[in-house]
Amino acid sequence: MDRHDAELKIAALKERLNEYGHQYYVLDNPVVSDAEYDLELQELIKLETAFPELITDDSPTVRVGGEPLPYFEKVEHRTPMLSLGNAFSDQDLRDFDKRIRNQIGDDLAYTCELKIDGLAVALTYENGRFVRGATRGDGTTGEDITQNLKTIQAIPLKLNQDVTIEVRGEAYMPKQSFLKLNEQREVAGEEKFANPRNAAAGSLRQLNPQIAAKRNLSMFSYSIGYLENDDLDSHYEALQLIKKLGFKTNQETARCNHIDEVIEYVNKWVEKRQDLPYDIDGIVIKLDSIEQQEQLGFTAKSPRWAIAYKFPAEEVVTTLREIELSIGRTGVITPTAILDPVVVAGTTVKRASLHNEDLIREKDIKLGDTVVIKKAGDIIPEVVNVLVDKRDGSERDFAMPTHCPECDGGLVRLEGEVALRCLNPLCPAQIREGLIHFVSRNAMNIDGLGEKVIAQLFAHQFIQTVADLYRLERDELLKLERMGEKSVDNLLAAIEASKENSLERLLFGLGIRFVGAKAAKTLAVHFGKIEALQEASEEELIAIDEIGEKMASSIFSYFEQAEVTELIGQLRELGVNLAYKGATGSQDLSTLESSPFLNKTVVLTGKLEQLTRNEAKVRIEELGGKVTGSVSKKTDLVIAGEDAGSKRTKAEELGVQIWDENQLIAAFAEIINN
């Protein structure tokens, strides 16, 4: 066979085999026998072996797994993969519905989906071809597991349309595959996986894709993270598009027009979940309208328009041996139960939360008690109750201390609070926990400064304040245990790099009470420089959207302290950036102040010729704007490219300002020239 004939034959085989796979793995509708499929696959392998230059990235043969990888590359998500808030009862769902109706009215609908218990992934396609797949990671940065994801038959390598899109979903291991895998591991003398979720995650994080290929994973796609020329109006519509493109979506998804229908759907699957061929750990409820989603927005961690109903928690019995106390960075004393190890929801649990002294008294918990603990979803296990009839008289009462276990300062309970608190600002535990918070991922993100290293530096009195981190010297660090030259150099480089962080990271890292990551970003964008924030009055702070009275009072009181003024001055002298840098962390403040996009809500629609939609979005966000997906009364500006369609029409109806692409480019150019 010559090359031309081989090319035609390979193209025909690929088309048939990909269609067979789609029918079998996506539509659950096999159209040929396994023997016939294998016969044609072997024919394709022989042809590609003879003509390797004809192998393409959408060939079914790539699903067998390639060469082992040395490591996984890091991938930054185009938009964050946020977690969801949780509901555990019908009342929680009704409260969620009430919050939404209070903000957008009664004209709404929800989409309900089974919450697959697997590994969240993001799949990127350029012009219809699969180019990258990544894990969720911390929500902002994941790992590139493209080669492993290619082994999953339910993931199309080429879409039915040449679109540029990011699709998100849950990779999972079917129950039958899980049982078979554990049988094989038992025969081989290997440790069995605790549950299908762990098995799926372990399979996709193998450096050898050939191992992943043998695990028979699947995937349900559930949302669009990015779509070029996006003009979708609802989440349900997005699911229909995903299915049309060739992805596997869950057939049990339902659209509900009232919270009563949602609860009916939830109760149905509480009863029927064991009948499914895959594990689920709850139900995801999403507001269907994308415009309404935009109106509600996000908290720092999750969308306000979605919630995950978690199934009733698994409860187990064990023995409570001790109660350990820890002091947080705000001085709160938190008791934790130390337990005999026990398996709950597939994981071994040795500790459980006791929350506060009142809970210990209310539940009459004694040391040595037999207790019931539960773990719902991913939350920390907690003690439910004591089995009093199991007591034999050896149990001992527990009393909370009157003085701080770390500094011996007196403990107090502030009015309206249930927690005991150490108010000593020089308490070593609070200082240490504050330092750990400062270097954490969502704050200054200093790689290599984990809890153990901070504790070691603190114990040797190398650091007392966050400013001391920027005074650390190479020679003194080399004297510490487990601190070699390479690790010290990497640590100092990470500390130096953190000086360039944008202001919002520093504000969050300072640990101002009630100021989370989102509030820190709001403050950074509004004030631009920390000096302006230091000079702000309580009234100015309260006037800022999303900054309430309680938070404003805390911020104002914090910056009134002489110690804080001195600390900010030290950080300035040490070269730490004290200004907001924009979305990418590189924006000059003078540019930001003159930006026509500052604090404006912008919608991009239609096809842009000179920029991609994402390039325009990133630049607008760098210049202080917020880019959303739908036009509403809160929209300040619409950038309309060719074929703008319904979004432009709606902007005209609402009287929203409309620019074409040339006006956008001109605005960018003017900012640069100024």
Longest dimension (CA), the chain: 89
- The DSSP code sequence of 63-103 is GG--SPPSSPPEEE-SS-----EEE-SHHHHHHHHHHHHHH
DSSP letter assigned to residue 515 = -
Closest CA to 175 of 100, 31, 278: 278
Tokens of 371: 């207790």
Residue position matching structure tokens 């349309």: 161
Residue position matching structure tokens 């009072």: 553
By the 10 Å C-beta count (0-12 exposed, 13-18 middle, 19+ buried), 310 is classed as buried
Beta bridge partners of 385: 372
Residue position matching structure tokens 């993270």: 225
Rounded-to-integer distance, Cα 321 and Cα 338, Å: 6
Beta bridge partners of 338: 322, 351
By the 10 Å C-beta count (0-12 exposed, 13-18 middle, 19+ buried), 129 is classed as middle
- Considering the candidates 14, 115, 286, 375, report the single residue annotated as catalytic: 115
Closest CA to 271 of 259, 283, 284: 283
Rounded-to-integer distance, Cα 110 and Cα 557, Å: 42
What torsion, rounded to 10 degrees, do the Cα atoms 408, 410, 413, 419 define? 0
Helix axes 90-104 and 259-272, enclosed angle (nearest 10) = 150
Q: In the chain, count of helices (H) and strands (E)?
A: 25, 22
Q: Name the helix (H) or strand (E) containing 129.
A: strand 129-135
Ramachandran area for residue 613 (φ above 0: left; ψ -120 to 50: alpha; else beta): alpha
Residue 115 is a catalytic residue? yes
Catalytic residue numbers?
115
